Structure 1
């Protein structure tokens, strides 16, 4: 360690052993593939050449696994009876290529679209009847 640079220690979650000890300034690549999906905490402890310490914590969420989409049930819904659920899971591929197969979840048509279609169809029928009566 040189006399004029600070040193940083990187910790993940509550692990007492740092994943890295680095002299600053530095660019560090955090490989999230080694972490389980879910919420994590990155704690950075810095030590200046004079011996003073600083701490910074950053909460982040890892989502390396396949994405899961569900239609028909939302978080904290109150339900009764039988539910029809549409579930899809798809992988993002890697950073160099994108997987198109299965990456889009088919969705049902929302009820408000059906209402607009019915209103438009009703108006079209009304228009045809009234325009035919005028001629």
Structure 2
């Protein structure tokens, strides 16, 4: 389905806070204008031809100023005299960047990816998405085991461009080998549903169910390239995308 517009409401307001009509769909929310406490953001997606999808996101605002302590890392080892600087942590207050151990970036990445996987794996929508997108296991394995090569009429340059787009935006969920992380992330390897080129183009651009519209900001060439790549990789050989 093609998105017609996205309306964003705050705390049950009758009038939308914003109406987004063109991708990329972005909204700057200034929480300093909101009272501290519980709030709800309601996102209503309208599709062309009718139909809509509603998502409500509760969140808490806390703009009460905190005290920043600069010069001493939590859990850090110190000796001798240490100069500390204290400041009220207003959002506009410039502070010196804090040096992080690179190991923490790795740990944070694992935690975030693990959280994403857990959310989709436990989401009630996951089973429905897998049923609609992923083929039966036996069919998938049989098709993927053929070791099929890309169709002869596929443009190698377009295939290579699609690979770059896939590795940058899709591989984190569907894996570099296209095996996905079932049941949350459907496998692309040997997926018979990839025969429908229009279905794949729509899913890449607009998302589906729990999958976000990762291709909303792609150029038409990038959308075509990544669709061509997944339809002709991982044992698939469904030919070019028209």
Q: Normalized against structure 2, the TM-score is what?
A: 0.28
Q: Normalized against structure 1, the TM-score is what?
A: 0.48
Q: Which has the higher strand share?
A: 1
